[in-house]
Amino acid sequence: MTLIDLANPTRFLALTARVLPWLAAATVILLTIGLYQAAYAPDDYQQGATVKIMFIHVPNAWLSMFVWGVMSIASLGTLVWRHPLADVAAKAAAPIGAAFTFLALLTGSLWGRPMWGTYWEWDARLTSVLILFLMYLGLMALWRAVDDPSRAARAAAVLTLVGALNLPIIKFSVDWWNTLHQPASVMRMGGSALDKSFLVPLLVMAIAFTLLFVTLHLAAMRNEILRRRVRSLQMMQASRVAFSSELGAGSRQENASKGAA
């Protein structure tokens, strides 16, 4: 089973129909475990109970960048290999990524209020994530603005790849500019700075959120394929109706001219 076998939408639908229930079940189980562990994680000596926001905030923030990465790979698939499902994947991922980005911003600002004393601060990472959110919304607007999906797909692919330049800026913004947001502490040289009692639930939550994304993404791709089928069926029907009414009008005219004669 390679990627090119999935170019057939029917085969893709059949495969995902089998895989999706398992993915959904795994997501629910991991989310339950992660939330349970997060709830029973010890309070931070400085931050108290608010540290638990981290278990929601950090996976959302990771996913907001991961989804753009997935969309960039799908865009390469559209432009380079012309894979028929690549633009479906890119289109389906955009709203999900926008939702993750929005949740990252929301939980971050809720966390920032007790910790930094402000809901919003124009610091480098917050600003660049906000730009990422705006770019998600712009991309969704682009998909909605053009009615021909394949034409929209190529424009969106170019834009996605240009926007991918923002990802390294977000990732390294906290290292380049020494600002309010703390620098990376989980993935860094010389091991994680996080205690094990925080790190384990965080990683479980990260895997659970990734699975959640994969589940939602596959379901959204299925919806998009079915939506396109409905659209082409409707267009076929519309053209058939137009064609038959044209015929009907023609025969009526013929009858009228016969009557006159």
Partner 1 sequence: MTALSALVRRDVRIALRVGGGALIGVLFFLTVVVLMPFAIGPDLALLSRLGPAILWLGALLASLLTLDRLFMADHEDGSLDLITMSRTPLELACAAKALAHWLAAGLPLIVATPVLGLLLNLDMVATAAVALTLLAGTPALTFTGMIGAALAVTLHRGGLLMAVLVLPLSIPVLIFGVAASQAVIVGPMTFGAPFSILCALSLVSLVIGPFAAAASLRHGLD
Interface residues with partner 1 (CB under 8 A) are: 79, 127, 131, 134-135, 137-139, 141-142, 145-146, 151-152, 154-155, 157-159, 161-163, 165, 169
Outline where the chain has alpha helix (H): 9-39, 54-76, 86-116, 124-145, 149-163, 166-176, 196-260
CB of 79 to partner 1, least distance (A): 6
CB of 151 to partner 1, least distance (A): 7
Question: Which residue, 154 or 181, has its beta carbon nearer to partner 1?
Answer: 154
CB of 156 to partner 1, least distance (A): 9
Taking CA atoms, 241 is separated from 229, 236, 244, 247, in Å, by: 18, 9, 5, 10
CB of 22 to partner 1, least distance (A): 37
**Alpha-carbon span 90 to 86, nearest angstrom:** 6
Question: Which residue, 8 or 150, has its beta carbon nearer to partner 1?
Answer: 150
Question: Which residue, 35 or 169, has its beta carbon nearer to partner 1?
Answer: 169
Nearest to residue 142, comparing CAs of 125, 124, 159, 127? 159
HSE-CB of 86 using CA atoms within 13 angstroms: 23
CB of 118 to partner 1, least distance (A): 20
Question: Which residue, 147 or 246, has its beta carbon nearer to partner 1?
Answer: 147
Question: Which residue, 139 or 212, has its beta carbon nearer to partner 1?
Answer: 139
Secondary structure class of 177 (helix, strand, coil): coil
CB of 130 to partner 1, least distance (A): 9
End-to-end CA separation in angstroms for the chain: 69
Question: Which residue, 22 or 176, has its beta carbon nearer to partner 1?
Answer: 176
- Cβ-contact 64, 132 below 8 angstroms: yes
